[in-house]
Amino acid sequence: MAKDQEPEKVGFFGRIKQIGMVFSITAKRDKWFIPLVAAVCLVAIALTVVLVIAWGWLFLPVGLMLVLLGVLIVLNLRANRAFMLEAEGTPGAAASIVQNMRGDFRVTPALASTTQMDFVHLVICRGGVVLLGEGNPGRVRGLIGQERKRLSKVIGSAEMRDFMIGNGEGEIPIRKLRMTLVRLPRTLSPKDVSALEKRLKALSARPQMPKGAIPKNMRPQGIRAPRGR
């Protein structure tokens, strides 16, 4: 068997290029980003001057590190905010966000969907089973109800929750999705999560018999349709 391809490692200059791209994109989409970066730099430079005057030039490198650290903190916060704002209203954004979260979050995007771009995503984590709905609330609630009924047969005592992504009453804004999932009480062990994932995958892979009469080309050989008397 061929080995799975390992993710390509990013070198120092590649990482610098990535940071530069994020910096540029965030500056274009967030009007407060550059002013905040400037303010952080001024505070860090002022603190550096005080350190150098008080204890000498040896603290100059410390000041430069403070400037860099401040810029990276602002970049991280504002870039995440810009990404979340852009993700609002984008079909499938919730699944993408959870897939990139740290921790044991196992995502099945579009477990159920409609032709109108309504989705129900499945998340299995230490907090149990979570169904995330995106799209029209009226249609998505029906999909969630169907999936709850189907999944409840195999999840045992694991907790099952559902969240509707949106800005309406009773809905969760997509920018709060990460914090909502992280704050779920951890009721399952890593082994329980793996076992639960296997059961749910087996459920999804189980073939379903079509309703109505079986077509002739699907009937087992040797079995004939009953003749009328």
Which two tokens mark 94? 């919730």
- Answer yes or no: do 117 and 82 share one domain: no
- Asked which of 87, 122, 144 is the last residue of a domain, the reply is 87
Q: Is residue 157 part of a domain?
A: yes
pLDDT at 62: 86
SS (H, E, C) 41-101: HHHHHHHHHHHHHHHCHHHHHHHHHHHHHHHHHHHHHHHHHHHHHHHCCCCCHHHHHHHCC
Q: Is residue 38 part of a domain?
A: yes
Give dist(CA 60, CA 69) in Å, integer: 14
Domain membership of residue 56 as a residue range:
13-87
- Asked which of 87, 115, 141 is the last residue of a domain, the reply is 87
pLDDT at 225: 47
Pair 123, 98: CB distance under 8 Å: yes
pLDDT at 183: 93
- Answer yes or no: do 44 and 104 share one domain: no
- Answer yes or no: do 74 and 121 share one domain: no
> Closest Cα partner for 178 from 91, 109, 111, 83?
83
pLDDT at 227: 53
- Answer yes or no: do 81 and 102 share one domain: no
Q: Is residue 54 part of a domain?
A: yes
**pTM of the model as a whole:** 0.63
What's the average pLDDT block by block, 10 residues per block, for the chain (229 residues)?
47 76 82 89 90 84 89 86 72 85 90 91 94 92 93 90 90 89 92 91 62 45 48
**How many structural domains compose the chain?**
2
- Answer yes or no: do 191 and 97 share one domain: yes
Pair 143, 114: CB distance under 8 Å: yes
Which two tokens mark 123? 């998340």
Pair 89, 66: CB distance under 8 Å: no
Q: Is residue 218 part of a domain?
A: no
Give dist(CA 180, CA 169) in Å, integer: 16
- Answer yes or no: do 102 and 173 share one domain: yes
Q: Is residue 185 part of a domain?
A: yes
Which two tokens mark 32? 């407060």
Which two tokens mark 18? 């990535």
Q: Is residue 215 part of a domain?
A: no
pLDDT at 219: 44
